[in-house]
């Protein structure tokens, strides 16, 4: 396993348990900070995924299988006792679901789960273009490829496509977050491998084999997986609680952290 950097945020109130939070593609632990801040009654552990943020790349391909093996080792290494939940967002939900489908895991919270093939979703053309974009960056010299992936205009476009809402101040803050943290990847090669992994699998492949209790928090305007696809995929799980958030898209971790925390807290209490 690569050397993993993680951040521990102890509960500032009487602790109701531990939550491990897993961020999405090209994210870092900072992207989940607002959710952590809304969960003061839990001990929170937030790693940077391999090849993102401060965590070293894997020594092997950055595939979903290898990411999920890393996550399994990370959870085991924490040696947590008592009540544990794994909360993941976007790409992190694929990694977590792959692990949960083949191994026993704590209860799961999937935020904006990638529940259907990306090349069949609302942004399928954009996904195809993005794949070519990452492949091009990977074959260029590192400096040129990194410059291509980190262009301010391109990062700004990510916010433009994904932010749903009229709060311009919040939108500017989300773009600042993306500009600050979105390009903290180890290399263009690992970024391209991660992107290919992110569009090659989805939760509908794993749902039927997941034994753990699952909370699905889906957004009605998510442009990665449509809400109809989310509703269909939700029926595949053995033990799922399904929640929809209206007037928001794929960036619920930035836009609606208090609601995510509320639903997570209620789900944990109900599943004990």
Query: What is the pLDDT of the chain when averaged over all its residues?
Result: 95
Residue 231 has a pLDDT of 97
**What is the reported pLDDT for 125?**
75
Sheet of 84-89, strand order: 6-9, 43-47, 18-22, 84-89, 107-111, 214-219, 240-245
Tens digits of per-residue pLDDT, 113-167?
Answer: 999 987 665 567 777 888 899 999 999 999 999 999 999 999 999 899 899 999 9
| pLDDT band at residue 29 using 50, 70 and 90 as cut-offs | very high
Query: What residues does each domain of the chain span?
Result: 6-271
Q: 238-259: per-residue pLDDT in tens?
A: 999 999 999 999 999 999 999 9
Tens-digit pLDDT profile for residues 62-94 = 999 999 999 999 999 999 988 999 999 999 999
* b/e sequence 146-178, b meaning 16+ C-beta within 10 Å: bebbbeeeebeebbeebbbeeeeeebeebbebb
pLDDT value at residue 128: 83
Q: Provide the CB-side half-sphere exposure for 256 (13 A, CA).
A: 23
Residue-level pLDDT at 85:
98
- Model confidence at 99, in pLDDT bands (50, 70, 90)? very high
Cβ contacts of residue 10 below 8 Å, gap of 6+? 43
What local confidence, expressed as pLDDT, does residue 167 receive? Answer: 94
Higher pLDDT, 1 or 164: 164
Average of per-residue pLDDT across 29-56: 97
pLDDT for the residue numbered 270: 95
How far from chain centre, in Å, is Cα 93? Answer: 6
CATH architecture, domain 6-271: 3-Layer(aba) Sandwich (3.40)
Q: How confident is the model at residue 2 (pLDDT cuts 50, 70, 90)?
A: confident
Give the per-residue pLDDT at 127: 77
């Amino acid at each position: 396993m690569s050397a993993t950097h993680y951040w521990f945020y102890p509960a500032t109130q009487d602790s109701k348990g531990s939550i491990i939070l897993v961020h999405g593609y090209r994210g870092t632990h900072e992207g989940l900070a607002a959710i952590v801040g809304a969960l003061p009654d839990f001990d929170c552990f937030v790693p940077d995924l391999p090849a993102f943020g401060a965590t070293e790349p894997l020594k092997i391909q950055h595939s979903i299988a290898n990411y999920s093996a890393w996550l399994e080792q990370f959870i085991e290494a924490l040696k947590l006792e008592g009540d544990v939940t794994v909360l993941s967002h976007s790409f992190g939900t694929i990694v977590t679901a792959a692990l949960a489908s083949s191994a026993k895991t704590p209860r799961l919270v999937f935020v904006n789960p990638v529940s259907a093939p990306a090349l069949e979703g609302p942004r399928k053309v954009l996904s195809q273009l993005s794949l070519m974009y990452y492949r091009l960056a990977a074959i260029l010299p590192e400096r040129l490829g990194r410059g291509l992936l980190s262009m301010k205009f391109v990062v700004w476009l990510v916010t433009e496509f994904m932010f749903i809402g009229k709060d311009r101040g919040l939108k500017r803050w989300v773009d600042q977050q993306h500009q600050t943290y979105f390009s903290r990847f180890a290399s263009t090669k690992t970024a391209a491998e991660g992107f290919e992994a992110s569009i090659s699998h989805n939760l509908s492949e794993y749902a039927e084999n997941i034994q753990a209790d699952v909370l699905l928090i889906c957004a009605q305007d998510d442009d990665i997986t449509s809400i109809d696809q989310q509703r269909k995929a939700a029926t595949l799980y053995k033990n799922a609680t399904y929640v929809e958030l209206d007037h928001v898209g794929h960036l619920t971790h930035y836009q609606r952290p208090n609601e995510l925390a509320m639903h997570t807290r209620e789900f944990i209490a109900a599943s004990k």
